[in-house]
Amino acid sequence: MRAITHHTPDALLAAYAAGTLSPAFSLVVATHISICAECRAALEGHHAVGGALLDGSETAILSDALKSDILAMLDDPTPAATPLAAREGEGIYPGPVIEALKGKKPRWRSLGLGLKQAILSDDEHGSVRLLHIPAGQAVPDHGHNGMELTLVLQGSFSDETGQFARGDLEVADEDLDHTPVADGGAPCICLAATDAPLRFHSFMPRLFQPFFRI
């Protein structure tokens, strides 16, 4: 596997560490971190900074009732540990994706033109899905009404900003209009999250957009 060249931006890592990212974006960032040693190290740095800030903060006085609630929680059963994310070479789907799939295979649905998707979650805060793009096939030209994170899990794709292979993360916003095209070889499989509907430029994708929930 070639070196990862497109990483999670520091601002997103900081938000992930602080727990302020939406579940959809958090899943993509967690998956990227699971296969990117550089971003795992950067995340540890954010955790260290957060710990230092807590150590330097004033001590809060807890009420007797809150103390009792916290102590009672110690008697609760310990949940089973979440399996460590799969590392490179251990399959297409890293641990966070396997967990989101609940250990099952993706339920692919056709988008036409050979494209397929499997929606993992979709609510008012955003959506996250797996995309399957055959080699040489293009995703319809589109812009963005918000932010889109696209993480490559297999194969690669190219667009106006460059090439993205396994482990690479593309961050798109309202300023980017692009036409991603899967490169030759294995089908490109991506994990993609959005916080707003895409802005398609041609009629047919716009017509079917409500049905595809993208």
Looking at residue 188, its pLDDT comes to: 98
Alpha carbon 144 to its chain's center: 16
Q: Is residue 155 part of a domain?
A: yes
Contact in structure between 148 and 193 (CB atoms under 8 Å): yes
- Percent above pLDDT 90 for the chain: 66
Name the domain count of the chain: 1
Q: When comparing pLDDT for 72 and 86, which is higher?
A: 72
Q: In terms of residue numbers, what domain contains 142?
A: 102-212
Q: Is residue 188 part of a domain?
A: yes
Contact in structure between 48 and 61 (CB atoms under 8 Å): no
Between CA 16 and CA 126 the distance in angstroms is: 16
Q: Is residue 120 part of a domain?
A: yes
Q: Is residue 68 part of a domain?
A: no
Mean pLDDT of the chain: 85
Q: Is residue 112 part of a domain?
A: yes
54 has a pLDDT exceeding 50: no
CATH value at residue 121: 2.60.120.10
Q: What type of residue sits at position 109?
A: R
Between CA 47 and CA 57 the distance in angstroms is: 15
Count of beta carbons in the 10 Å neighbourhood of residue 135: 16
Q: When comparing pLDDT for 2 and 94, which is higher?
A: 94
Strands (E), the chain: 109-112, 115-123, 126-133, 142-144, 148-154, 156-159, 162-165, 169-172, 181-182, 188-194, 198-200
Q: Is residue 180 part of a domain?
A: yes
24 has a pLDDT exceeding 90: yes
Q: Is residue 87 part of a domain?
A: no
Q: Is residue 111 part of a domain?
A: yes
194 has a pLDDT exceeding 60: yes
74 has a pLDDT exceeding 80: no
Looking at residue 79, its pLDDT comes to: 41
For residue 144, what are its two tokens? 């963005």
Looking at residue 213, its pLDDT comes to: 80
pLDDT digits (tens, 9 = 90+) for 83-125: 334 443 358 999 999 999 999 999 999 999 899 999 999 998 8
pLDDT digits (tens, 9 = 90+) for 150-183: 999 999 999 999 999 999 999 999 999 999 999 9
Q: When comparing pLDDT for 80 and 100, which is higher?
A: 100
